């Protein structure tokens, strides 16, 4: 549809063909990224504030356990309370316990489909604390303090990394814009010092630069997601934005080569 197939036919590479090939690659990368971005949107929406919810739940579990109830009974009692994004998980665990399942199978069934590592790791520790340690008040209290520490650490880390998320965007703009401008400067300088048309050389180089910077920007988006949220899945949202920015930058800077290509 973009006409990029003409490059396979040996057509002369001009600015229009460079843009067509770049759009073809970008469309493929965006198609891949949309699925990942949607999955991350769904995951982040249901796991937002999960760290604080887990810490609050474990603290209430300790207090309820002090009344003499068993850990399983304490979870059932707490299932009537609101713990934000953790509420459906606690209620599913409670329902499984009421049906007679053990705590390990109940937790595994309730967390199926979740990817949040804090949730999975903390509930895994909770399961081991109950099944292997008997669910003592001291052990649950240590786990509650650990969960609170992890929640505070994640919040502080997110604040510190907020500034660094701009680096991939600045890098993508610099790479995509400066590379084409440098090529234009070199081509114009060569055209003034040498005879003959150098469009046959500039075209393939411009095409390689545009394709390379587009792929590089997409990969930088994955790195940005890993940097900000600790998972590559969140990077697909940044990859979409960076790819679109790179295409626009290439289209603008490619005008400097319009007289040569």
d(CA 54, CA 91): 14
**pLDDT at residue number 4:** 73
pTM of the entire predicted model:
0.74
CB count in 10 Å sphere of residue 34 = 14
| Residue 113 CB burial class (10 angstroms; 0-12, 13-18, ≥19) | exposed
**pLDDT at residue number 15:** 72
**pLDDT at residue number 219:** 92
CA distances from 136 to 65, 221, 241, 248 (A): 8, 45, 49, 60
**pLDDT at residue number 240:** 93
d(CA 122, CA 118): 6
d(CA 228, CA 237): 12
38-47 own/partner pairs: CB under 8 Å, 24+ apart: 39/233, 39/236, 40/225, 40/231, 40/233, 40/234, 40/236, 40/237, 41/237, 43/114, 43/115, 43/116, 43/233, 44/229, 44/234, 46/85, 46/114, 47/85, 47/114, 47/115, 47/116, 47/119
What domains, with CATH codes, occur in the chain? 4-47+162-257 (no CATH), 50-160 (1.20.81)
**pLDDT at residue number 165:** 82
**pLDDT at residue number 243:** 92
Q: Which two tokens stand for residue 207?
A: 């095409």
Q: pLDDT tens, position by position, for the chain (261 residues)?
A: 777 777 777 777 777 777 788 888 999 999 999 998 998 888 888 778 888 899 999 999 999 988 888 888 999 999 999 988 899 999 999 999 998 888 889 999 988 888 788 888 899 999 988 888 778 888 888 989 998 898 888 888 878 877 788 888 888 888 887 887 777 777 666 665 554 455 567 778 778 888 899 999 999 999 888 888 778 888 899 999 999 988 888 888 777 666 555
**pLDDT at residue number 260:** 57
């Amino acid at each position: 549809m973009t006409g990029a197939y003409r490059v396979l036919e040996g057509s002369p590479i001009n600015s229009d063909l460079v843009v067509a090939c770049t759009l073809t690659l970008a469309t493929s990368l965006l198609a891949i990224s949309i699925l990942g971005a949607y999955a991350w949107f769904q995951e982040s929406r249901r796991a937002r504030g999960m760290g604080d919810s887990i810490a609050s739940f474990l603290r209430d579990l300790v207090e309820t356990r002090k009344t003499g109830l068993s850990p399983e009974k304490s979870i059932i009692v707490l299932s009537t309370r609101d713990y934000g994004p953790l509420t459906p998980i606690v209620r599913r665990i409670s329902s499984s316990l009421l049906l007679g399942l053990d705590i390990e199978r109940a937790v595994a069934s309730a967390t199926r489909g979740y990817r949040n590592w804090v949730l999975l790791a903390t509930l895994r520790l909770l399961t081991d604390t109950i099944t292997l340690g008997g669910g003592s008040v001291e052990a649950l209290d240590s786990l509650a303090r650990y969960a609170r520490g992890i929640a505070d650490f994640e919040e502080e880390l997110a604040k510190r990394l907020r500034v660094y998320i701009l680096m991939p965007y600045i890098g993508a703009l610099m790479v995509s814009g400066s590379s084409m401008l440098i090529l234009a400067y070199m081509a114009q300088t060569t055209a003034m010092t040498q005879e003959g048309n150098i469009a046959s050389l500039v075209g393939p180089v411009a095409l390689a630069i545009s394709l390379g910077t587009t792929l590089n920007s997409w990969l930088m988006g994955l790195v940005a997601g890993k940097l900000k949220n600790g998972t590559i899945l969140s990077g697909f949202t940044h990859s979409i934005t960076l790819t679109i920015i790179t295409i626009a930058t290439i289209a603008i800077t490619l005008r400097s080569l319009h007289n040569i290509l």
